[in-house]
Amino acid sequence: MKRQRRVFIILWALLLALIFLSIALGRYGVGVARSYKILTDPIFHWEPTWDDNMVTSIWNLRLPRIFMACLVGACLSGAGAAYQGVFQNPMASPDVLGASSGAAMGAAIAILLGLTHNAITLVSFLCAMGTVAVVYAVGRRAPGSRILNLVLCGMVISSLCSAGTSYVKLVADPNNQLPAITYWLLGSLNGTTMDEVWRIAPVMALGMIPLVLLRWKINLLTLGEEEARALGVHPGRLRLLVVLCATLMTAASIAVSGMIGWVGLVMPHLCRRLVGSNFRALLPASMVAGALFLLLVDDLSRNLLAVEIPIGILTAVLGAPFFLVLLLRGGRDDVC
């Protein structure tokens, strides 16, 4: 317990420090001290040493993007940890049931139809939820192991959605629509507004809050059907509820950020090494670590080069080697 408490303190301290540092980072130089004064000016009424562009840069551009990066990172990592517990598979990730592929196809169709940004987000979210609903309905009716059926159905439906996305890219206008679809598929938080944060945050909270409240029950799913029932838990209902919450978090995240991989796979494994496999500590630790990781990646994407690097590329470049290091250093028993 003491180690878990220390880990949580360190993760939260790192996250808060990175949030404060991220406010000052950007191509339009503001500085840490000046950023602090701009943020606290409504309270302390400092003598202005900044211009309106600096205020706009912090309040309208950087803060919404920082908040969205933390929300998306926490949701993807928390959903990954939940899926790994439900499916009793350490390789499970937020796209195991096809939410990512469904969201990608929905966004591609919306861009092809020339819809607005808000409409693209809505269509992407609805397609992600619809895809998982189809997967769950088919997997539940198929004979045999329900968990295995869900995973296999997720693979099949994901393949179909990927084929649909490829066809949309084939018929899209190569001058305008195809670049927009490609950029969305690479993942980005560019252009995030505070209104968008306020719209998507309640949807994410609908998935995060129940998962946090039920995190101790997820441990019972690893014991098997009979053991869980003996302890007073209906495994089928609990599994459905966890899948629904994790899918809601995944769909909301992908709808606003595009395709961002590896967060939901790497961060739960790292936190499992830090706090153990008990979901009472693992789930919240994964959420904080996911927010920290994606915020760091977003800072790199907008400051590393003169041209912004899509987040999906950086998460793969950083996440894949990091995951290999975890495997090589800890072995399967420690990482899984």
Residue 190 CA to residue 27 CA, distance in Å, equals: 14
Calpha distance 123→108 (Å, rounded): 9
Domains and CATH numbers, the chain: 2-335 (1.10.3470.10)
Distance, in Å, from the CA atom of 265 to the CA atom of 290, rounded to the nearest integer, reads 10
Choose among 138, 40, 140, 158: nearest CA to 94: 158
Neighbours of 280 (CB within 10 A): 16
Q: Which residues lie closer than 8 Å to 74 by C-beta, 6 or more apart? A: 208, 287, 288, 290, 291
SS (H, E, C) 165-186: HHHHHHHCCCCCHHHHHHHHHH
DSSP, collapsed to helix, strand or coil, labels residue 251 as helix
Q: What is the pLDDT along the chain (336 residues), one digit of tens a residue?
A: 788 899 999 999 999 999 999 998 877 777 788 888 888 888 887 888 788 888 888 899 899 999 999 999 999 999 999 999 888 877 888 888 999 999 999 999 999 999 999 999 999 999 999 999 999 888 888 777 778 888 889 999 999 999 999 999 999 999 999 999 999 999 999 889 999 999 999 999 999 999 999 888 888 877 766 776 776 777 778 888 999 999 999 999 999 999 998 999 999 999 999 999 899 999 999 999 999 999 999 999 988 888 889 999 999 998 888 888 877 776 444 444
For 132, 187, 238, the CA distances from 175, given in Å and listed in that order, are 32, 20, 47
